[in-house]
Structure 1
C-alpha cells in the first residue's frame, strides 16, 4: 500500500529546509513572525501551522510551498532538495 510520507516517516520533505532558511535569514524571524510574513503575502497560516510544517507533522501544498519560498527568498526547488 502506498503512503504519502517522506522516507523518514514525516508528512513533508521541506519542513527542515524551511526551518533552516528561516533561521538563516538576516532578521531571524520566529515562527510567529514567519507566519505574519506569509499572511501579508496572502497565505492563511498561523504559528502553529509553521511549527507543524517545520517538524514534519503537516503536509505542505504546492500553493503554500510557492509562497513560503517567495517569503524566504529561495526557490521552491531549494525547499524540496534532500
Structure 2
C-alpha cells in the first residue's frame, strides 16, 4: 500500500532545506519571524506550523511552498533539492 511519506518517514521533503536556508540567512530569522513574513504576504501560517514543516511532521501544499520560497528569496526547486 502506498504511503505519502518520504523514505525517512517524513511528511515532506522540503522541511530540512527550509530550516537550513532560514538558519543561514544574513539576518537572524526565527520561525516566528518567518511566519510573520508569510502572513504579511497573505499566507495564514503560524510559528507552530513552521516548526512542524521543518521537522517533517506536516505536509506542505504547493501554495505554501511557493510562498515560503518567495519569503526566503529562493526558488521552490531549491527547497525540493535534497539527498534522501
Q: Calculate the TM-score normalised by the size of structure 2.
A: 0.95
Match of 1:77 in 2: 77
Q: Can you give the 5+ residue segments of structure 1 that lack an aligned partner in the other structure?
A: none
Task: Work out the CA distance in 1 between the residues paired with 2:25 and 2:38.
Answer: 15
Matched, 1:63 2:76: no
Task: Work out the CA distance in 2 between the residues paired with 1:63 and 1:4.
Answer: 18
Match of 2:8 in 1: 8
Task: Work out the CA distance in 2 between the residues paired with 1:51 and 1:5.
Answer: 18
Give the superposed CA RMSD: 0.5
- For residue 33 of structure 1, report the CA deviation from its aligned partner: 0.5
Q: Can you give the 5+ residue segments of structure 2 that lack an aligned partner in the other structure?
A: none
- For residue 26 of structure 1, report the CA deviation from its aligned partner: 1.1
